[in-house]
Amino acid sequence: MTENARLRLTLENYCQRFRLTLQAIGEGVIVLDAAGRVDYLNPIAEQLTGWSLDEARGRPSEVVCRLVDEHTRLSLRRAVRDAVAHGTSRTMLGRAILQSRHCLEHRVEVAAAAIPDVGDADMASPGASLGGVLTFRDVSEQYRLGREMEYRATHDALTGIINRDEFDRRLNATLAEARASHLQHALMFIDLDQFKLVNDAVGHAAGDELLRQIVRVIRRSVRATDVIARLGGDEFGVVFSQCSIESAQAMANKICRDIDQFRFQFAGQRFHVGASAGLVPVDERWTTSAALLQAADSACYAAKAEGRNRVHTYLPADEIVEAHREEMQWARRIETALDRNQFVLYWQRVMPLQIDNCLVHAELLLRMVDDNGNLVNPGAFLGVAERFHLATRIDRWVVRTVFAWMHAHREELDHVGTVAINLSGLSIGDRDFHRFVKALLETTAFDHHKICFEITETSAIMNLAEASSFIGSMRVHGVRFALDDFGAGAASFGYLRNLDVDYLKIDGQFIRGLSSDRVNQATVRCIRDVANITGQFTVAEFVETEAVESLLREIGIDFAQGYLRHRPAPLADIFALRV
């Protein structure tokens, strides 16, 4: 074999090895000649471009491999030509869109390199390149997964609109724009009315479907440039972009009207839900998006206070909004006190009027300890706790603390006949709370007969089935019950036969000034007569004068409680009465 033949064979072997390598790699490869025309495509390039090698050979590269910027959609033809014609090394062109012959689009990462003429000593001179190589890796699946992950991170899975985190980000951007350019925007906070009724009546699947349909109702009333988000539960937010407060009010009112007229149908039933909304102008007065959202939430609260199913527009020095803001501050104080154990228990004695009873009967009273060590009476925070659904957490703290205290001092409480614990209406209607108390009774050793739970007449009537069930389950453990504020309800006597309680605590409105009010005297006598028939003891609250106490004893009331005989004292003082 001649030298030329050997060289030719070696060259053919190298070429064959080169072709097999190009066919085997997972990237698309296009080889161009010096004029920028296609000389070679490997199989991956054929697949992505839609051109076969035979069809593509000799065609301009921009015809076979149409690359555009993924953001601007502008052609990358010039960038490719420059990299191939003048590049001295591999040039990364970055992420791009490859548009195939059949109008399919692939997300690719592109690189280009010149093929130098090794026989030319001057690589910078024209003609130094024999052509070039384009390589592209298909990243469409990574792009799809990235978009999906981004979507899941920024959107609510149930309704498909953006979530709270993304809404906060966009609201921050809107606020920054308002402060920089003085453009007008508005924020709307929506809270559905009566949503819980749907969940309770036909289940959470129905509630989920209702939320999806409500989103469609809201979308019909906003513009394409506006932002809608689900902020949590049945709460939604809308940012009206570049919109005066007057125009935003019109759209907000339309949203509330449309929701009010909407009827949700599920499992053969029809439901009406309304919406209360707060509207706040987004302007330079706000320093943070959190302050904006709080103002919108407070305005929404004001809409509910005004009768629901309406829009309340926030104004500076808005009394209702300011009141709600103060309540929110109290709610945070309550949560902090629970976390830091900043509550203490006091007690007030309940005195027998008809018989000599050496046992001590006590009602436990809650106090909050503020950061300065001062005591805060429950009237300042229990109403807020009810409205912000914190009352059950407080009740759990009280019950857990009292049970632990009675267990620890069970040998020292033989002089105590009753320890009364007040429970909120929320706890009476909460089956989880019932199970919580039952579990504590079963695991905490002390005389359970000393415990008496006080529930208000109103909460018992509002949760009659749950109250009856709770009372029955506690009776098994010897726990007693008192019906507090008795007589305040419109139908007090009618519910007595349904509530197995031991004590009727007569509402204070009938006790104050009892000695001079004959109507109240008649009412108290009536309550005593009914209690005698039903076998319950009677307790008069707010007894502050000897004249009232004497009259109560004459009427036949069993116990009296008030400042006349005992002012609330720290719980530890109860041991001083032990003989």
Q: How many CA atoms lie within 13 A of 287 on its CB side?
A: 0
Radius of gyration of the CA atoms of the chain, in A: 39
CB–CB of 349/362 below 8 Å?
yes
Integer Cα distance of 236 and 426 in angstroms:
25
Q: Give the residue from 519, 556, 521 showing the smallest Cα distance to 539.
A: 556
Per the CB < 8 A criterion, the answer to whether 333 and 381 are in contact is yes
| Residue keyed to tokens 């305005």 | 299
**What is the DSSP annotation of 453-476?**
EEEEHHHHHHTHHHHHHHHHHHHT
404: left (phi over 0), alpha (psi -120 to 50) or beta: alpha
Residue 313 CA from chain centroid, whole number:
23
Residue 75 DSSP code: B
**How, if at all, do strands 537-540 and 559-560 pair?**
parallel
Q: What is the 3-state secondary structure (H, E, C) of 499-524?
A: CCCCEEEECHHHCCCHHHCHHHHHHH
Q: By CB neighbour count within 10 A (0-12 exposed, 13-18 middle, 19+ buried), where does 121 fall?
A: exposed
Q: Would the CA dihedral through 2, 4, 7, 11 be positive or negative?
A: negative
The whole-angstrom separation of Cα 311 and Cα 190 is 9
Taken in order 244, 249, 255, 258, the sign of the CA dihedral is negative
Please state whether beta strands 360-369 and 416-423 pair in parallel, antiparallel, or not at all (unpaired): parallel
Task: Decide if 234 is catalytic.
Answer: yes
Catalytic residue among 156, 168, 234, 485: 234
- Distance between CA 152 and CA 133 in Å, rounded? 38
Q: How many CB atoms lie within 10 A of CB 287?
A: 10
Q: Per this entry, what is the length of the chain? A: 579
Count CB atoms within 10 A of the CB of residue 83. 23
What is residue 217's three-state secondary structure?
helix
What residue ranges in 194-302 does DSSP mark as E strands?
227-232, 235-240, 263-266, 269-272, 274-282
Cα separations in angstroms, 156 against 172, 186, 232: 19, 22, 9
**Would you state the torsion angle of the CA atoms of residues 538, 542, 548, 552, taken in this order, to the nearest 10 degrees?**
0
What is the residue type of 486? F
Residues that are catalytic: 234
